[in-house]
Amino acid sequence: MFDAIRVVEKAPSQIKNLVVGVFAADTSADENARPAFDPATAKVIAAAGGADNAAHAIARPEFEASMGSVIDTFSADGETRIVILGLGKATGLTADTLRFGGGVVGRRLATAKATSVTIELLPAIKVANSAANGAAGNVAGKAGKGAKADASTSISAAVAGSAFGEGLGLIGWVCDEFKGSVTKKKGADGKEKNSRTKLEVFSKDAGFAKGVARGLGLAEAANLCRTLSQTPPNIATTGYMAEQAKKLAKKTGLKFSIFEGEALEKERFTGLINVGKASENKPCLVRLEYRPKDAKKDAKPLVLVGKTMTYDTGGLSLKINNGMVGMKRDKDGGCAVLGAMHAIATVIQPKRPVVALLSIAENSISDEAYRPDDVITYRNGVTVEVTNTDAEGRLVLADALCWACEKENPSAIIDLATLTGGVVVALGSTYCGMFCEDDALRAKVEAASKASGERVWRLPMHQEYRDLMKSPVADIQNSNANRKAHPIQGAAFLSYFVDEKIPWCHLDIAGVHVADSNKGPFVDGPTGWGTRLLAELVDA
């Protein structure tokens, strides 16, 4: 929707677009109450010459200032567009509200062909902080003597700016490189016409402005993930994905290495070898490393693992009907990890090392294809009976998990994968399925989930589920035919390839990696889910 978005430090000589916030009216005392600007916001609007018009705008019966609602008006001289963002109830303001609002405002500014915007949301945010802390104080008072109000209900200028910047940046995503002459128009000079504008964002509050810049950086990383997800499988082959990782490393200073061909055999990456051997696009395992200059030599890295199936036909257990449509997105776990490494190297820049492992393969069909009934042996000695070649993602992830435990000396491992249709049945598109038995790591992931707005829901991992994966032929099978606890089966399988002493979290993103509706900061298509969560986790 935008050609580019950036934060500027210098205030525009003439405010062309002004964004302010307003809360829904408190109707508990007066059911006819209407939204009203707080004094500080009203002062900002008056300085822009739009006091009367803005007052009339929020008095319209169709505008209730519900979360994400928006209405436009203009200054008296018609020079300044005033975008009024509804923020819902003052006691309910969250970073999610501002992230969604950033997307809504971004849509409006894109429609208006805006080239600059001044954001003045801090007055409203201060009102919300006061209201929320007051409500928390009341709760504490009712709890009895010694109870304290929860200061965490406050939203800082930096956090608010980051969330709003994410919304702006996410809605700014465009991937039209696969459009042809029917869609793309050319000017008289024969060159392609670009109707998208470059947007400059200004806020007089330095903390908010810095937050917006951070949010735009996180959105840029997520948008990289989305573009890779959108790239079709005849272009995004296994080699292409490895090359994108190599380019990212060169651009951002990450270390890059790759295992392919004989190196896969040498390192006994049997999952990748077997799953990928039917395709002319050969499998590989890519390793990226972020290591700050002042990191201690023995510092343990956080290891991020991404399932990167460039296409999944199901193999000999062929998908039926339209089951293959959209399988270009079976690489989205790896895309999210690539996006996260972009954010880590350019925005977060932590003082700890981070390693990314991408298991890259294409699950195809030929006389070389692996079969149901095959038994394969992993580098950690675990033998697997293949019962379903369409449960291939867990087979390639197992290689990376073994390597991470044996070679990386990790502080923790987190893997992301579009692993099961069962998690979509269980949780829909609202939550990602999270499997994590380490209390400390799980708390960190949940905190990152709250910060990023990418929601997770813990699912169980009891020994009975691990027993469900046992095979009468080998140690374990890759899929139990009775389909019990389908999303848990995938996680239970993976647990056999992780050292029980190492904190590990498995995130099944099959239900959340694509948006099926056009609202807030997202359009129909890939969401880049996981990129921002991983970045927030590392930042914390």
Dump pLDDT digits (tens) for 413-425. 999 999 999 999 9
DSSP state of 152: G
Please report which confidence band the pLDDT of residue 190 belongs to, taking 50, 70 and 90 as the band edges: low
Active site residues: 319, 394
Res 151: pLDDT: 46
φ/ψ region of 113 (left if φ > 0, alpha if ψ in -120 to 50, else beta) reads: left
Q: Report the pLDDT averaged over residues 259-265.
A: 98
Q: Report the pLDDT averaged over residues 155-165.
A: 97
- pLDDT of 136 strictly over 70: no
| 118 three-state secondary structure | strand
- pLDDT of 141 strictly over 70: no
- Let me know how many helices (H) and strands (E) the chain has, helices first: 16, 19
Query: d(Cα 117, Cα 110) in Å, to the nearest integer?
Result: 11
Note the pLDDT tens digit of each residue in 6-50. 999 999 999 999 999 999 998 888 888 999 999 999 999 999 999
- pLDDT of 327 strictly over 60: yes
Res 176: pLDDT: 85
For the domain made up of 2-208, give the CATH fold. Leucine Aminopeptidase, subunit E; domain 1 (3.40.220)
Query: d(Cα 283, Cα 317) in Å, to the nearest integer?
Result: 19
Q: At what angle do helices 332-343 and 206-230 cross, to 10 degrees?
A: 150
Antiparallel, parallel or unpaired: β 354-363 and 284-290? antiparallel
- pLDDT of 527 strictly over 90: yes
| Whether 254 contacts 339, CB under 8 Å | no
- pLDDT of 148 strictly over 50: no
DSSP state of 296: -
Res 135: pLDDT: 66
- List CB contacts of 405: < 8 A, sequence separation 6 or more: 380, 413, 497, 498, 499, 502
- pLDDT of 57 strictly over 70: yes
- Which CATH architecture fits 231-370+390-469+486-539? 3-Layer(aba) Sandwich (3.40)
| Whether 7 contacts 102, CB under 8 Å | no
Note the pLDDT tens digit of each residue in 337-362. 999 999 999 999 999 999 999 999 99
Please report which confidence band the pLDDT of residue 321 belongs to, taking 50, 70 and 90 as the band edges: confident
Res 150: pLDDT: 47
What is the share, in percent, of the chain residues with pLDDT greater than 90?
86
Query: d(Cα 74, Cα 52) in Å, to the nearest integer?
Result: 10
What is the share, in percent, of the chain residues with pLDDT greater than 70?
94
Please report which confidence band the pLDDT of residue 178 belongs to, taking 50, 70 and 90 as the band edges: confident
Q: Look up residue 473 and give its two tokens.
A: 């032929």
Please report which confidence band the pLDDT of residue 138 belongs to, taking 50, 70 and 90 as the band edges: low
Q: Report the pLDDT averaged over residues 71-91.
A: 97
Q: Look up residue 331 and give its two tokens.
A: 């690489």
| Long-range contacts of residues 345-349, Cβ cutoff 8 Å, at least 24 apart | 345/252, 345/253, 345/254, 345/290, 346/217, 346/221, 346/252, 347/214, 347/217, 347/218, 347/221, 347/535, 348/535, 348/538, 348/539, 349/292
Q: Look up residue 427 and give its two tokens.
A: 């949780």
**Which single residue is written with the structure tokens 């600007």?**
37
Residues spanned by CATH 3.40.630.10 within the chain?
Answer: 231-370+390-469+486-539
Q: Look up residue 10 and give its two tokens.
A: 């210098």
CA nearest 160: which of 208, 114, 115, 107?
208
Res 147: pLDDT: 43
Note the pLDDT tens digit of each residue in 283-298. 999 999 999 998 888 8
H or E, element range at 199: strand 197-202
Q: Look up residue 187 and give its two tokens.
A: 């000017």
Residue 91 to residues 41, 75, 155, 356, 367: CA-CA distances in angstroms? 18, 30, 12, 40, 63
DSSP state of 519: B
Round to the nearest angstrom and report the end-to-end CA distance of the chain.
31
Residues spanned by CATH 3.40.220.10 within the chain?
Answer: 2-208
Q: Report the pLDDT averaged over residues 452-471.
A: 97
